[in-house]
């Protein structure tokens, strides 16, 4: 009798232990789907590697417990359809880039969490309520500590270009007003006239530079995610027309633009992994504060400066985080 009861006890105990183990096993094998919505093709892989590396450090390994649904387009006009496709796939989270891309993703869904990377002034653009409690289904990272980033870029140009009085603004047409009010205020303070050229298609780049040259601008500020995939062409056109130009992202200086001042884009993608991990662990996007960059890099392309016949002031050389020879 004792042996029978003991056997029953062991069977019961084994079942009790096996049950949570089975649940744990099911949880361990759950595969999350992360939607990626970006503009560009050739430039996307390094950014996604940075994101994947960040997720791997947090225990999410592609092919094991996470898969990426990549949707990239060479034109913004194609993105709404691709965003709708990710929604139909019922991905667990959507990761996207700058302000216009976030707006497209938000129009596609109000329920799937959206992680933005490198957005500019998302509050002013109406994407989130505020940085501390964004509300809705969007959170993530901005690429500016404030909209004053563009004002800083204008100030840097005036330090490098003697007697600068007219500055061209190469601007993505659907980028909204993010940062532009501050840029106009800075221009008035510095006594600089802005000539704005809005571009809707990358095919318009040659015409845009020709228009700025016709207005006799002495330098150019570039902003908008549309130009990233053609940043080398932008740099070549600026050099061809002998126009000192600046952008926020280091990648442009590496492509030949005179100067950049802003955050490191690869670093933003790595840091975005923590937001994805929190969402997959059950966090609500409306409760995750939006992160702003705290470190900005000044990168100067000395080869381009020499080709333009510009001498970089010594104080700026001392402040530069990197100088490209």
Class of domain 31-143+265-287: alpha beta
- Sites in the chain below the pLDDT cut of 50: 1-27
| 66: enclosing H helix or E strand | strand 66-73
Q: In what order do the strands lie in the sheet with 219-223?
A: 193-199, 166-172, 219-223, 245-247, 259-262, 297-301, 322-324
Q: Are 116 and 138 in contact (CB under 8 A)?
A: yes
The pLDDT assigned to 147 comes to: 61
DSSP one-letter string for 23-58: HHHHHHT--EEEEEEEE-STTHHHHHHHHHHHHHHT
The reply to whether 31-143+265-287 and 149-262+297-324 are identical in fold is: yes
Domain residue ranges in the chain? 31-143+265-287, 149-262+297-324
CB within 8 A of 307, min separation 6: which ones? 239
Residue 282 CA to residue 124 CA, distance in Å, equals: 28
* pTM, two decimal places: 0.80
- Please tell me the predicted confidence (pLDDT) of residue 145: 64
| 149-262+297-324 CATH fold | Rossmann fold (3.40.50)
pLDDT in tens, 175-231: 666 567 788 888 999 999 999 999 888 889 999 999 999 999 999 999 877 788 788
At 264, is the secondary structure helix, strand, or coil? coil
Say if CB 133 and CB 280 are below 8 A apart: no
């Amino acid at each position: 009798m004792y042996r029978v009861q003991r056997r029953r006890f062991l069977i019961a105990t084994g079942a009790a232990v096996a049950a949570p183990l089975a649940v744990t096993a099911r949880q361990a094998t759950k595969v999350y789907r992360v939607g990626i919505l970006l503009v560009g093709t050739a430039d996307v892989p390094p950014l996604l590697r940075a994101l994947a590396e960040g997720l791997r450090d947090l225990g999410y390994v592609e092919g094991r417990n996470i898969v990426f649904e990549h949707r990239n387009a060479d034109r913004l006009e194609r993105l709404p359809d691709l965003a709708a496709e990710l929604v139909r796939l019922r991905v667990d989270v959507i990761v996207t880039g700058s302000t216009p891309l976030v707006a497209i993703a938000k129009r596609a869904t109000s329920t799937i969490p959206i992680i933005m990377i490198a957005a500019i002034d998302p509050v002013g653009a109406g994407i989130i309520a505020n940085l501390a409690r964004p509300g809705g289904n969007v959170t993530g990272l901005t690429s500016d500590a404030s909209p004053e980033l563009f004002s800083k870029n204008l100030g840097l140009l005036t330090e490098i270009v003697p007697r600068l009085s007219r500055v061209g603004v190469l601007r993505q047409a659907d980028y909204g007003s993010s940062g532009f009010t501050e840029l106009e205020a800075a221009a008035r303070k510095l006594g600089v006239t802005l000539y704005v050229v809005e571009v809707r298609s990358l095919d318009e780049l040659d015409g845009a530079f020709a228009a700025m040259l016709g207005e006799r601008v002495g330098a150019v500020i570039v902003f908008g995610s549309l130009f990233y995939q053609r940043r080398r062409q932008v740099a070549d056109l600026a050099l061809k027309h002998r126009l000192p130009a600046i952008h926020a992202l280091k990648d442009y200086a590496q492509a030949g633009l005179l100067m950049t001042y802003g955050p490191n884009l690869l670093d933003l993608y790595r840091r975005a992994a923590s937001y994805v991990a929190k969402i997959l662990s059950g966090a609500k996007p409306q409760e995750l504060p939006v992160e702003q960059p705290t470190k900005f890099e000044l990168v100067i392309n000395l080869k381009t400066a020499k080709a333009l016949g510009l001498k970089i002031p010594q104080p700026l050389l001392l402040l530069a985080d990197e100088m490209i020879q």
